[in-house]
Structure 1
Amino acid sequence: MEDVELQIFKETHVFENMTTKQMHILVAAIDIFAEKGYANTSTKEIATKAGVAEGNIFSKFKNKRGLLNAIIAPIIDSIFPASMNDFIKTRLTKEYSTLHDFFD
């Protein structure tokens, strides 16, 4: 995973309370989830890619769902509000004659 792709996790301070192993787990999970999908990924695969024991995943993230939540939460907290603000500023400040014009 590129450093640019990890920027959102740095900006939202996700890594501040994580050990190096936990950061490796998070990055490995993002890579494998992107490649294989959440359902087709095992915690064992994530641990192997991260170079840690599988128990390290459970100690911080509890389970695979907790790991997914750790990935999604910063995106929801950062990207969603920014997108909504942009939408409000660019789309809701104009007048539209029809609903079709609004969605066009």
Structure 2
Amino acid sequence: MMLGVVLGSVLTLLAGAAWRRVNRPVHCVWCAQASAWPTSQHDPRSCKGYVQELRRHRLRRKALGHQVEEPDPFGQLYLLDEEIEERDAALNVAAGWSADGKTPPAALTPK
């Protein structure tokens, strides 16, 4: 009987250790490095700093002529200022405005 109790306790402890090792809490390495904390309790794919760092890396690769993944895997999440300006300019040109958004299309100018 005593052997069963000891064996059950040992197996329970081993199962608990294995469970903790397999199911570790999600943590963001980017935030942990930036804040000097050992861990941050959120997923890095939803971290603004991490996503913007990957966006900058993607823009750098694009500027150097390297192939980048299209469409952007993060979609509209945490856009950089450069990306916002680029998208605004594209929308302005599509609507007939100048790229800087200051000159209206001919249909809107008074005659």
Greater relative contact order, per chain length (Cα 8 Å cut-off, separation 6+): 1
For the aligned pair, the TM-score class normalised by the smaller chain equals under 0.3
- Radius of gyration: which is bigger? 2
The alignment's TM-score, normalised by the length of structure 1, stands at 0.28
The alignment's TM-score, normalised by the length of structure 2, stands at 0.26
Which structure carries more helix by proportion?
1
